[in-house]
């Protein structure tokens, strides 16, 4: 893949970009000529390896550490983003933000602890809210925000109630972002993956994958790159007239 035509005004931040859907989105964004600032928390080696892969194919990427549950670090993170934009792309603006970082928890409502509830809330709703708020002044006119939600907001699946509830909140927040940021020419959409082959929630064993495949119209689970292509399209002019929408990418999960 070649990125010789990179536009220095087209740089995006992708949280949780070291693995899974985030990593695939970083690669796909780079293939489409976007500069990438990807964040990691617990996987620095994977993040820096991904940066080397992008750079090795002619793209530009930077990896920055970010704990999306630590709102008090966001101001310092913004400074790091500004420094990376200036040093690597000679620009001061962002073209996009992908709020992707997250983790899963399988536990019945009866068994969820307050600490587990708060952890999921901080990462999946509070973090994206305040990170978007902090980075908003850096987003240029025509920028795109993509929030990763989940098909579990449409289909009730026992054991994921807090996760699904906060992803549902993020879907609602997305529409409000689109409404409030529209005057600045900034779009906001959410992408809701179905059953995808990632490490979220501990990954898939053969039995669980067979169950999910049987519940999906196309008869299999999805791959991270299949979600990444949809996210990347929303970050480019291909998705320029798509706004305030939730796009489910599930292969027809429970239809």
Which positions are annotated as active-site residues?
163
Q: How far is it, in rounded angstroms, from Cα 39 to Cα 203?
A: 21
Q: How far is it, in rounded angstroms, from Cα 102 to Cα 169?
A: 14
Give the total residue count for the chain: 255
| Contact indicator for 63, 42 with CB cutoff of 8 Å | no
Helix (H) or strand (E) holding 11: strand 11-14
| Helical spans, DSSP H, in the chain | 20-31, 44-56, 74-84, 114-121, 127-135, 161-181, 206-214, 224-235
Per DSSP, what are the bridge partners of residue 162? Answer: none
Q: How far is it, in rounded angstroms, from Cα 81 to Cα 92?
A: 9
User: Count of CB atoms within 10 A of residue 122's CB?
Assistant: 17
CA terminus-to-terminus distance, the chain: 36
* Best CA proximity match to 57, nearest among 18, 8, 4, 13: 4
- Interior/surface letters 193-217, b for 16+ CB within 10 angstroms, e for the rest: bbbbbbebeeebeeeeeeebeebbe
């Amino acid at each position: 893949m070649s990125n010789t035509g990179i536009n220095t005004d087209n740089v995006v931040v992708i949280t949780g970009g070291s693995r899974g859907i985030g990593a695939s989105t970083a690669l796909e964004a780079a293939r489409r000529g976007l500069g990438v600032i990807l964040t990691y928390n617990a996987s620095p080696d994977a993040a820096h390896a991904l940066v080397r892969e992008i750079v090795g194919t002619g793209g530009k990427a930077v990896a920055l550490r970010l704990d999306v549950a630590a709102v008090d670090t966001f101001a310092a993170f913004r400074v790091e983003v500004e420094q990376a934009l200036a040093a690597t792309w000679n620009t001061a603006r962002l073209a996009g933000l992908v709020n992707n970082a997250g983790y899963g928890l399988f536990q019945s409502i009866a068994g969820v602890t307050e600490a587990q509830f708060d952890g999921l809330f901080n990462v999946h709703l509070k973090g994206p809210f305040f990170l978007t708020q902090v980075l908003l002044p850096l987003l240029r006119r025509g920028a795109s925000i993509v929030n990763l939600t989940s098909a579990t907001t449409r289909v009730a699946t026992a054991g994921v109630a807090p996760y699904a509830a906060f992803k549902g909140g993020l879907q609602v927040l997305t529409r409000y972002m689109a409404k409030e940021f529209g005057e600045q020419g900034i779009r906001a959409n959410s992408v809701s993956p179905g059953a995808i082959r990632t490490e979220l929630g501990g990954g898939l064993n053969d039995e669980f994958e067979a169950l999910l495949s049987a519940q999906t119209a196309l008869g299999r689970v999805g791959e991270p790159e299949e979600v990444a292509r949809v996210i990347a399209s929303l970050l480019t002019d291909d998705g320029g007239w798509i706004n305030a929408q939730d796009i489910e990418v599930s292969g027809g999960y429970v239809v």
